[in-house]
């Protein structure tokens, strides 16, 4: 038996490689992966090579340390079971289902401190969406919606839909979801949006106090700014990589007092650090995974051997492919 891993060979080229299964060192465990989730927006940027030169892959995740250099292993949503332990690890870990921020692979070793136990009442599908749910929780915290506000979410990918689902739990006056794809607009309604619109139609819904831009498309930032009223807030959850956003900051923007905030899940806003840490935020994400039916976001489960097909689907068929999971028990 060998390990199967996804490898971005060069910009635009993805393959799978077979390797020996690693052995855990002291303080480590060996995890056999059940599922891993593709984070489409970020992973397609890395696959296409649309990342700024000399940028670190992710300095906050041990398995993604180092600068961007191909061939590249990527991904950060693996759920599996501990099958072996290194010296110094309690044998009670054997058989435990765990989550790890780790690239797509069927087996991996990891230090025990970087392993997140999956709660007993959470299944592997729910657990695979933990990073996306944590991102949605972070977006809501950064935006600070309040009772009676009008809120818009521009972009209905997985993160946008989860953000919409969380915002639907607030007593808002209006919650609008904006996306060009009718299939995703329908999902937004099912998850609690009060109304949906295409980018061309959204101006008909008036102005908003708080707008989220989570589409991954730089042009959508102008849509978000256009929706936001005087002294409103725009929270940018998208990462555009090397793509530039050409902003319309003339006209009414100069006098609008709109605040624009970058939101990214690898850190916690300093305003919260007196009482919040990553463990507390993850606890909230687990709770939201219990409350929200994330299974409706899963459109494809493919064997890891089908990795090239998976990325092709996400790049070429966004109307039908939303959340794609690699299933390691079908190979």
How does DSSP assign 115-182, residue by residue?
A: -EEPPTT--HHHHHTHHHHHHHHHHHHHH---TT-EEEEE--SHHHHHHHHHHTTS--SEEEEE-S-H
For residue 323, give the CATH number of its domain: 3.90.180.10
Residue 152 lies inside a defined structural domain of this protein: yes
- Over residues 230-275, the pLDDT tens digits come to 999 999 999 888 888 888 888 888 889 999 999 999 999 999 999 9
Q: What's the pLDDT at 171?
A: 98
Q: Which stretches in the chain have pLDDT values below 70?
A: 57-60, 62-65, 331
How much is the pLDDT for 245?
A: 84
pTM across the whole model: 0.95
By C-alpha distance, which of 110, 103, 111 is closest to 16?
A: 103
Structure tokens at 221: 């930032």
Residue 166 domain flag: yes
Domain match, 66 and 150 both: no
pLDDT of residue 247: 84
Q: 228 lies in which domain range?
A: 132-271
Residues 17 and 56 in one domain: yes
CA 119 from centroid of its chain's CA atoms = 20
C-alpha–C-alpha distance, residues 157 and 163, integer Å = 10
Q: Cβ–Cβ contacts within 10 Å for residue 264, how many?
A: 13
pLDDT of residue 160: 98
Instruction: Specify the number of domains making up the chain.
Output: 2
- Output the pLDDT for position 58: 67
- Are residues 72 and 99 both part of a single domain? yes
């Amino acid at each position: 038996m060998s390990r199967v891993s996804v490898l971005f060979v060069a910009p635009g080229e993805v393959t799978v490689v077979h390797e020996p299964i690693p052995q855990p060192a002291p303080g480590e465990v060996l995890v056999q992966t059940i599922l891993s989730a593709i984070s489409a927006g970020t992973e397609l940027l890395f696959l296409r090579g649309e990342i700024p030169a000399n940028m670190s892959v992710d300095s906050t995740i041990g398995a993604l340390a180092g600068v961007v250099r191909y061939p590249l292993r990527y991904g950060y949503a693996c759920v599996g079971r501990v099958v072996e332990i290194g010296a110094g690890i309690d044998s009670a870990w054997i058989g435990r289902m765990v989550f790890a921020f780790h690239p797509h692979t069927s087996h991996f070793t990891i230090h025990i401190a970087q392993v997140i136990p999956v709660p007993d009442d959470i299944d592997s599908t729910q657990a695979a969406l933990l990073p996306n749910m944590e991102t949605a929780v972070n977006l809501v915290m950064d935006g600070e919606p309040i009772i009676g506000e009008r809120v818009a979410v521009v972009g209905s990918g997985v993160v946008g839909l989860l953000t919409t689902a969380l915002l639907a739990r607030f007593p808002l006056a209006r919650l609008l979801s904006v996306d060009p794809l009718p299939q995703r607009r329908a999902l937004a309604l099912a998850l609690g949006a009060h109304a949906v619109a295409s980018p061309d139609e959204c101006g008909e819904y008036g102005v908003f106090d708080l707008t989220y831009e989570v589409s991954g498309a730089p042009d959508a930032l102008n849509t978000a700014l256009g929706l936001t009223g005087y002294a409103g807030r725009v929270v940018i959850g998208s990462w555009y990589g090397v793509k530039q956003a050409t902003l319309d900051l003339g006209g009414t923007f100069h006098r609008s007092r709109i605040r624009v905030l970058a939101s990214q899940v690898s850190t916690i806003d300093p305003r919260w650090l007196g009482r919040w840490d990553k463990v507390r935020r993850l606890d909230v994400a687990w709770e939201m995974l219990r409350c929200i039916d994330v299974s409706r976001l899963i459109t494809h489960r493919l064997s890891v051997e089908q990795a090239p097909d998976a990325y092709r689907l996400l790049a070429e068929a966004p109307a039908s492919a939303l959340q794609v999971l690699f299933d390691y028990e079908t190979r």
